[in-house]
Chain A
Amino acid sequence: MPTHTRDETDPPAPSPQLRMLVLIGVALVVGGAASLAAIALVDLVALLNDLLLVAPKARVQWESLPRLVAAATLLVPTLGGLLVGLAHRHLSPAGRPLGPPDVIQAVQFHRPLPDLRSGLVSTATAALSLGAGASVGQYGPMVYLGALFGGVAHRLRLGIPGLASIAVSCGVAAAISTAFNAPIAGVLFAHEVVLRHYATRAFAPVTVASVTGYVIANVVFERPALFRIDFPGVAHGYEFALVALLGVLVAGAAVGFMRLLLALGPRLARMIAVPALRPALAGLAVGLTALVLPDVLGIGTATLRFATIDGAFGLSELVVLIGAKVALTALCIAAGFSGGAFSPSLLIGSLVGVLFWTLLSGALGVPSSGAAIYAIAGMMGFASAVIGAPLTCILIVFELTRNYDVTIAAMVAVVFSNLVSHRVFGRSLFDEQLARRGIDFSQGRDHPHMAALRIVEHLTPETVTARAGEAPAEVDRRLAAQGWREAFVLDADDRLLGVYTPDPAAGAATVAERAQPVGLVFADSTDLAEAMARLRGFVGDAVPVVAQDGTYLGAVSEADVVAAWLDESARLREEENASV
């Protein structure tokens, strides 16, 4: 039997009708709460942006006092970074911002999210980071905040397998649905990125939560769509090929961005010993850049809009802005500002798209349908490579523009971008961040689940051991009684010396003299996936497991390893195909 512990102990299973009611109820509550929280976060950030002179409308009213604006530009992100760093250091047990990778990890392994306090600190520092104009995104924190509400379900014991994971996914879907006014994209994001399967048991409540978020954002609060665009259509057929080429180009940019982001973290940690100072210095870099290039401040809603206006940026301006935004976003996230990479990705991608369009129509004189289509295709191509959610990105375009032509153009860019980035880099930034924690989703969701199970938990109690000095006859008798053909020979300190196989023809005083070296040994850290791979071609009763100091811990039989593998596979298949 699999002996790994799950946090969801299973009380007697309620009837399907009751389970359905519970799932829908949880979806409504979590979806509603996550949606309201997402709206509150957006409003709080907007308020901070106004108060701290990050928003253009706030900056312009002090336009007659340029020194005040310059001082705010430098000090706000710097001090904001310092506060963020101090808060993570002293208030948060996790000591770092939390985001989608933590949610994915919790949902995949049915574990609770990191502690609530760390989650709340992370949300507060996200509001502060975004409010102070750091070059980070708002969707990562929104997703985490939504997940926090779902995470409460972990404490419920309602007898529904995987309820907490489903509830967390509900929160995630509602947050995305609220943020983008895009309920279909919300559902897909939760499945594509977080759950990674499409079981009805999860799909139904996630959809309910996503629609709840949409209703709250649209009907109750009448929030404007994040990004509205009137788009006349694609004028020339060859533009779809150009958009595909753009997809390949933005994939290159996205891979560069993600590599830079991942490489900067350890480097900054070596260079700046005091962790709280890292975001402060990143904030200072943002402030200094913003003195000459205010477009880099914050989420960049205005800049995103400019990208859709023909000729809003000159060629050199675009190149500088793309470089600055890539460098500063990577720096801010690596330095420990709390926030995501999605909104900056949207901005960088759209700027790359505009650059492509400017070269195309300006330098080469190719007739085109205008900057907007390239901005949107670039935006989604880049962002989908970063978050690893092609379907979500395509649906976001569709739901935001409700325009079929632009959606198809964006879809072409998205798939070509993913084709390249998946091959060169990996499925997403999240997956790479998880891979660095030892959770590798690159081969699908089975492998990390198998890799999470330790072989040491499957030791067979009946194995036979022998002391080095024992007489072979005594050991032969014990082996015959247990029905085993091999005994593991240990020294006085329980260290494994070798394996002993009875042989009536050979004569020896002790088993130690007859012990053969062991062909296959597992360490206590060996996981199920690795064990399964190494068992290929193994012949014998059992494989000994030893601790790092060589101490013999026990042995696992081949049958037990296979059984554990089959059990875990069955559990995964059951989860992926559950109805209610």
Chain B
Amino acid sequence: MRLSELALALALGAAPLAAQELTVVSWGGAYEAAQRRAVIAPFAEETGHDVTVARYDGTWSALDARGAAEGWDVIDMLADQARVACDKGLLLRLRPREMFSRDALADFTPRRPDRCAVPQNAYARVMAYDDRAFPGIKPTRIEDFFDTERFPGPRAVQRSPDGILEWALLAEGVPPEQVYGLLSTDRGLRLAFRRLDAIRDDILWWSDPSEPARMLAEERAVMAAGFNGRFFDEAQSGTPLDIVWDGRIIGTEVWAIAATTDTPAAARAFVAHAARPAAMARLAERIPYGPTRASAFARIGLNPDTGIPMRAHLPNAPQHGGRALIRDDAWYANTEALRARRFEAWLARGD
């Protein structure tokens, strides 16, 4: 640890605070389990705070509805949801310059901490397939997700416009850097939904992120859109599934603090602790979500349980090749209502 970070950690964490109750809110499943071991337990041990973990569905509206009543302090959020929540005044202003040294701020990649959120890991929305379903030629490109002639069978898709619209345009040959620009136009949305029409009858909807991997395992679906960590976890338990990295949509997960927190000092200490390179590397060793600080990459080694080298399974690992799209959080935050409206209209058209 750098000296400056040590000083900050001391100032924030080892302040003369009595042990406090801290509620950290996360998503459950393999992800939460990894977080507990990599971040939450070491923090509790170091500071003596009593940390409880709550679960939610990841939306800012859940924070609005439950945050104050249930005493939420620190929340694990998607970057775009944090942006919306920040604009709605649901999050505490963090003043990153007081929390991190100049060097530490420069270490964050691809995004730096902003006024409400500190990036903690990079995940990817990827496509995975059941190897048993395709004994011959396997899917290799995002176009294959929409090709029910060469790759017939049900596809597991989240019941939301997230991710699938981007894939629809990538499958039309739109280069990643133009995807969000085109999706901002009426014509772009129409084309994306036209592409989606082609697989409408083969879609199996999911809403819980753990479902797509299970659908593949239970052979209910032959292909699935989901998060790379979940698929990795399922593959570890023996399911013959493989991830197609082409068209991966890399998103950022952040830590934020509820505006209604009653222990802001302890909450800040937690966020600062979780944003250390060592904590990020520990998390990436347990679940393949990449660190958001450049210096953390060098620390990532083997999974402590299975002995698998984890760096190759991170969404931002360089050897994946293919197309990668960086999720545009600002665009997501700005277009939430529009996307939801168009998606519902599209769903209704099919019924």
Partner of B338, one of A57, A60, A309: A60
Partner of B181, one of A64, A301, A312: A301
* A300 CB → nearest B CB, Å: 11
Tell whether, in the assembled complex, residue B187 and residue A63 are in contact, meaning their CB atoms are under 8 Å apart: no
- Also in contact, A309 and B173, with CB within 8 A (given A57-B331, A60-B338): yes
- Also in contact, A224 and B177, with CB within 8 A (given A60-B334, A60-B338, A63-B338): yes
Tell whether, in the assembled complex, residue B184 and residue A64 are in contact, meaning their CB atoms are under 8 Å apart: no
Query: Would you call A228 an interface residue if the criterion is a C-beta within 8 Å of the partner chain's C-beta atoms?
Result: yes
Query: Would you call A55 an interface residue if the criterion is a C-beta within 8 Å of the partner chain's C-beta atoms?
Result: yes
* A490 CB → nearest B CB, Å: 74
Query: Would you call A233 an interface residue if the criterion is a C-beta within 8 Å of the partner chain's C-beta atoms?
Result: no
Partner of B173, one of A59, A224, A308, A313: A308
- Interface 0/1 of B160-198, CB less than 8 Å to A: 000000000000111101101110111110010010000
- Interface 0/1 of B297-316, CB less than 8 Å to A: 00000000000000000000
Tell whether, in the assembled complex, residue B191 and residue A57 are in contact, meaning their CB atoms are under 8 Å apart: no
Query: Would you call B65 an interface residue if the criterion is a C-beta within 8 Å of the partner chain's C-beta atoms?
Result: no
* A241 CB → nearest B CB, Å: 25
- Interface 0/1 of A30-57, CB less than 8 Å to B: 0000000000000000000000000111
- Residues of B in contact with A, size category: 20 to 34
Q: How far is the CA of A61 from the CA of B180 in the complex (A)?
A: 12
- Interface 0/1 of A62-90, CB less than 8 Å to B: 01100000000000000000000000000
* B280 CB → nearest A CB, Å: 26
**Closest Cβ neighbor of A308 among chain B residues:** B173
Tell whether, in the assembled complex, residue A312 and residue B185 are in contact, meaning their CB atoms are under 8 Å apart: no
Q: How far is the CA of A228 from the CA of B178 in the complex (A)?
A: 10
Tell whether, in the assembled complex, residue A56 and residue B181 are in contact, meaning their CB atoms are under 8 Å apart: yes
Q: How far is the CA of A153 from the CA of B87 in the complex (A)?
A: 53
Query: Would you call A230 an interface residue if the criterion is a C-beta within 8 Å of the partner chain's C-beta atoms?
Result: yes
- Interface 0/1 of A258-295, CB less than 8 Å to B: 00000000000000000000000000000000000011
Q: Which residues of B contact A372 (CB under 8 A)?
A: 173
Q: How far is the CA of A308 from the CA of B173 in the complex (A)?
A: 9
Tell whether, in the assembled complex, residue B177 and residue A302 are in contact, meaning their CB atoms are under 8 Å apart: no
Query: Would you call A471 an interface residue if the criterion is a C-beta within 8 Å of the partner chain's C-beta atoms?
Result: no
Query: Would you call B335 an interface residue if the criterion is a C-beta within 8 Å of the partner chain's C-beta atoms?
Result: yes
Q: Which residues of A contact B172 (CB under 8 A)?
A: 309
Tell whether, in the assembled complex, residue A57 and residue B184 are in contact, meaning their CB atoms are under 8 Å apart: yes
Query: Would you call B337 an interface residue if the criterion is a C-beta within 8 Å of the partner chain's C-beta atoms?
Result: yes
Query: Would you call A196 an interface residue if the criterion is a C-beta within 8 Å of the partner chain's C-beta atoms?
Result: no
* B161 CB → nearest A CB, Å: 13
Tell whether, in the assembled complex, residue B337 and residue A302 are in contact, meaning their CB atoms are under 8 Å apart: no
Query: Would you call A306 an interface residue if the criterion is a C-beta within 8 Å of the partner chain's C-beta atoms?
Result: yes
Tell whether, in the assembled complex, residue B181 and residue A302 are in contact, meaning their CB atoms are under 8 Å apart: yes
Q: Which residues of B contact A402 (CB under 8 A)?
A: none
Interface of A is mostly: loop
Q: Which residues of B contact A305 (CB under 8 A)?
A: 174, 178, 182
Q: How far is the CA of A309 from the CA of B337 in the complex (A)?
A: 27
Q: Which residues of B contact A312 (CB under 8 A)?
A: 187, 191
Q: Which residues of B contact A306 (CB under 8 A)?
A: 182, 187-188, 191
Tell whether, in the assembled complex, residue A60 and residue B174 are in contact, meaning their CB atoms are under 8 Å apart: no
Q: Which residues of A contact B178 (CB under 8 A)?
A: 301-302, 305
Query: Would you call A535 an interface residue if the criterion is a C-beta within 8 Å of the partner chain's C-beta atoms?
Result: no
Q: How far is the CA of A576 from the CA of B144 in the complex (A)?
A: 56
Q: How far is the CA of A55 from the CA of B181 in the complex (A)?
A: 8
Q: How far is the CA of A64 from the CA of B180 in the complex (A)?
A: 18
Q: How far is the CA of A55 from the CA of B191 in the complex (A)?
A: 19
Within 8 A of A (CB), among B213-237: none
Tell whether, in the assembled complex, residue B177 and residue A56 are in contact, meaning their CB atoms are under 8 Å apart: no
**Closest Cβ neighbor of A294 among chain B residues:** B185
Q: Which residues of A contact B194 (CB under 8 A)?
A: 311
Q: Which residues of A contact B173 (CB under 8 A)?
A: 229-230, 308-309, 372
Within 8 A of B (CB), among A300-339: 301-302, 305-306, 308-309, 311-313
* A377 CB → nearest B CB, Å: 17
* B344 CB → nearest A CB, Å: 15
Within 8 A of A (CB), among B17-39: none
Tell whether, in the assembled complex, residue A57 and residue B180 are in contact, meaning their CB atoms are under 8 Å apart: yes
* A181 CB → nearest B CB, Å: 13
**Closest Cβ neighbor of B333 among chain A residues:** A61
Within 8 A of B (CB), among A195-254: 224, 228-230
Tell whether, in the assembled complex, residue B182 and residue A302 are in contact, meaning their CB atoms are under 8 Å apart: yes
- Also in contact, A63 and B335, with CB within 8 A (given A56-B184, A306-B182): yes
Q: Which residues of B contact A60 (CB under 8 A)?
A: 184-185, 331, 334-335, 338
Partner of A61, one of B174, B185, B191, B335: B335
* B152 CB → nearest A CB, Å: 22
* B335 CB → nearest A CB, Å: 6
* A312 CB → nearest B CB, Å: 6
Q: Which residues of A contact B338 (CB under 8 A)?
A: 60, 63-64
Q: Which residues of A contact B335 (CB under 8 A)?
A: 60-61, 63
Q: Which residues of A contact B181 (CB under 8 A)?
A: 55-57, 301-302
Interface residues of B (CB under 8 A from A): 172-175, 177-178, 180-182, 184-188, 191, 194, 330-331, 334-335, 337-338
Given contacts A61-B331, A230-B173, A302-B184, 9 further A-B pairs with CB under 8 A are A56-B182, A56-B188, A57-B180, A63-B335, A64-B338, A301-B181, A302-B181, A306-B187, A312-B191
Please give me the 4 A-B residue pairs with the lowest Cβ-Cβ distance, nearest first.
A61-B334, A56-B184, A60-B184, A228-B175
Task: Give 26 pairs: A residue, B residue, CB < 8 Å, sorted on A.
Answer: A56-B181, A56-B188, A57-B180, A57-B181, A57-B331, A60-B185, A60-B331, A63-B337, A63-B338, A64-B338, A228-B175, A230-B173, A301-B178, A302-B181, A302-B182, A302-B184, A302-B185, A305-B174, A305-B178, A305-B182, A306-B182, A306-B188, A309-B172, A309-B174, A309-B191, A312-B191
